[in-house]
């Protein structure tokens, strides 16, 4: 791979759409050998939002084929997919509702939702589902942290924490069946443990302007700067100076099996200034894609980490195939 450049073996296919893409995720393979992508889209012409499932094949990587669509009552703020092969689950949050749906043969056969404004007063900022699809976490600008349990035909929820508006949360991500992290305004990061109710188990200070931090919970005194302008010694590793919209671990690297347990795994990022890249501790970043518009969301195929999809601000998808 070339440093700060497109790898020679990377194929990029641009797929234009006529709708704005709020988020996108790979679906686990439903029928054997079929590959599907779920999109949260907004149509400005009709002022309507929906969840769409499209098929995408490696033999024809420049073509999306719509399989099914579900109309949403309002614009979708968060879209996640559980990765269980036997029963994948699509989880989406809107301004005031939560939807969970079972995709069967690339169509949404059944869905359950939480009643409007039951979880939050105001917008739901982020919603995440556990890998096995059994529990979800929601956070909002109102400072509430809710846990939603997924049953066979119903949802139950409990309020895990309420800051009464003193803290606004903007992001949430499961780390284990009992632990999750949240991000809040003021560059704050909280670590929660269900075995320790009453408040966050740990709190950290993050940053902005393209900075990517990592924390080792065994040694929490100092963050590890993977990319950004926060520390002088990492100036040459800065790839973006705008906001980072999404971060995911990237298991594509062939060196992961030989990495020390004290090193942070490589991560992929997308940014407001149109950068999709892989950053690794102590290494120069690898730029996969540079666009003249924001890259709002991306996802790495869990079944085949060579494949990455990302959504562009200008109503298009980029399908990246690494070799």
Q: What per-residue confidence (pLDDT) applies to 287?
A: 93
Q: What is the mean pLDDT of residues 179-191?
A: 87
**Percentage with pLDDT > 90 across the chain:** 44
Q: With bands split at pLDDT 50, 70 and 90, how would you rate the model's confidence at 66?
A: very high
Q: Which are the contacts of 119, defined by CB distance < 8 A and separation ≥ 6?
A: 98, 138, 140, 144, 146, 148, 157
Q: What is the mean pLDDT of residues 123-148?
A: 91
Task: Give yes or no for a contact between 169 and 140, defined as CB atoms under 8 angstroms apart.
Answer: yes
Strand order across the beta sheet in which 48-55 lies: 20-27, 36-43, 48-55, 65-72
Residue 255 has pLDDT above 70, yes or no: no
Q: What per-residue confidence (pLDDT) applies to 234?
A: 46
More confident residue, 205 or 204: 204
In 3D space, the residue among 316, 310, 268, 304 whose CA is nearest the CA of residue 57 turns out to be: 304
For residues 183 and 299, give the distance between their C-alpha atoms in angstroms, rounded to a whole number: 20
97 three-class SS: coil
More confident residue, 177 or 98: 177
Q: With bands split at pLDDT 50, 70 and 90, how would you rate the model's confidence at 5?
A: very low
More confident residue, 86 or 5: 86
Q: With bands split at pLDDT 50, 70 and 90, how would you rate the model's confidence at 111?
A: low
**Percentage with pLDDT > 70 across the chain:** 84
Residue 230 has pLDDT above 80, yes or no: no
The structure tokens 């939050």 sit at 120
For residues 8 and 52, give the distance between their C-alpha atoms in angstroms, rounded to a whole number: 32
User: Tokens at residue 283, please?
Assistant: 């290494």
In 3D space, the residue among 206, 267, 210 whose CA is nearest the CA of residue 244 turns out to be: 210
Q: What is the mean pLDDT of residues 308-321?
A: 96
Residue 134 has pLDDT above 90, yes or no: no
Q: What per-residue confidence (pLDDT) applies to 231?
A: 45
Residue 259 has pLDDT above 70, yes or no: no
Residue 161 has pLDDT above 90, yes or no: yes
User: Tokens at residue 34, please?
Assistant: 């079929």
Residue 11 has pLDDT above 60, yes or no: yes
Task: Give yes or no for a contact between 119 and 98, defined as CB atoms under 8 angstroms apart.
Answer: yes
Q: What per-residue confidence (pLDDT) applies to 256?
A: 64
Q: What per-residue confidence (pLDDT) applies to 242?
A: 86
Q: What per-residue confidence (pLDDT) applies to 2?
A: 38
For residues 306 and 304, give the distance between their C-alpha atoms in angstroms, rounded to a whole number: 5
* Mean pLDDT for all residues in the chain: 84
> Taking the CA of residue 213 as centre, how many other CA atoms within 13 Å lie in the half-sphere pointing to its CB?
19
For residues 225 and 208, give the distance between their C-alpha atoms in angstroms, rounded to a whole number: 12
pTM of the complete model: 0.88
* Boundaries of every domain in the chain: 230-322
Q: Which are the contacts of 96, defined by CB distance < 8 A and separation ≥ 6?
A: 74, 116, 117, 120, 123, 124
Q: What per-residue confidence (pLDDT) applies to 128?
A: 94
Q: What is the mean pLDDT of residues 129-135?
A: 89
């Amino acid at each position: 791979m070339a440093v700060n450049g497109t790898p020679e073996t990377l194929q990029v296919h641009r797929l234009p759409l006529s709708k704005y893409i709020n988020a996108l995720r790979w679906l686990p393979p439903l029928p054997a050998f079929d590959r599907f992508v779920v999109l949260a889209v907004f149509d400005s012409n009709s002022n309507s939002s929906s969840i769409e499932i499209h098929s995408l094949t490696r033999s024809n990587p420049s073509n999306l084929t719509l399989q099914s669509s579900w109309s949403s009552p309002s614009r979708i703020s968060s879209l996640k997919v559980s990765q269980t092969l036997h029963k994948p689950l699509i989880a989406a949050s809107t301004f005031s509702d939560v939807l969970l749906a079972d995709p069967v043969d690339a169509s949404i056969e059944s869905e359950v939702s939480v009643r409007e404004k039951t979880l939050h007063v105001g917008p739901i900022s982020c919603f995440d589902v556990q890998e096995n699809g059994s529990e979800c976490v929601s956070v909002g600008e109102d400072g509430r942290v809710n846990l939603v349990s997924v049953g066979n035909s119903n949802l139950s929820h409990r309020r895990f924490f309420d800051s009464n508006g003193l803290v606004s949360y903007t992001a949430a991500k499961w780390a284990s069946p009992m632990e999750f992290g949240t991000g809040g305004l003021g560059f704050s990061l909280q670590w929660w443990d269900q075995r320790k109710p009453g408040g966050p188990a740990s709190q950290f200070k993050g940053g902005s302007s393209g900075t990517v931090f990592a924390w080792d919970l065994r040694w929490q005194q100092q963050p590890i700067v993977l990319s950004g302008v926060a520390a002088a010694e990492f100036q040459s590793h800065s790839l973006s100076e705008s906001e980072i919209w999404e971060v995911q671990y990237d298991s594509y690297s062939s060196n992961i099996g030989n990495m020390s347990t004290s090193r942070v795994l490589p991560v992929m990022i997308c940014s407001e200034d149109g950068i999709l890249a892989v950053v690794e501790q102590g290494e120069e970043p690898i730029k996969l894609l540079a666009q003249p518009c924001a890259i709002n969301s991306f996802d790495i195929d869990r079944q085949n980490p060579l494949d990455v999809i990302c959504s562009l601000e200008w109503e298009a998808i980029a399908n990246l195939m690494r070799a």
